[in-house]
Amino acid sequence: MIKILSIDGMTCGHCVSHTSEVLGKLDGVSSVNVDFVAKTAIVESETEIADDILKNAVKDAGYSVVSIS
């Protein structure tokens, strides 16, 4: 399952690293690709992960999710 998150607030490579680390630690996540220029995170998982779990993880990292598709 693949979800694309639009994220607001990331401005640098450290933001990418931090967001990747937080999302990558979620149960079921197999890969994460974060791009601060595009303001997106592509999360691939083995099972369905609720949008609220993804939003809360990004929020805890200090950023906000604008949308998930």
Residue 61: CATH number of its domain: 3.30.70.100
Domain that holds residue 37: 2-68
Structural domain count of the chain: 1
Residue pLDDT, tens place only, 28-59: 999 999 999 999 999 999 999 999 999 999 99
Say what the pLDDT of residue 21 is: 97
Torsion of CA 53, 54, 59, 60, to 10 degrees: 70
pLDDT band of residue 62 (cuts 50, 70, 90) is: very high
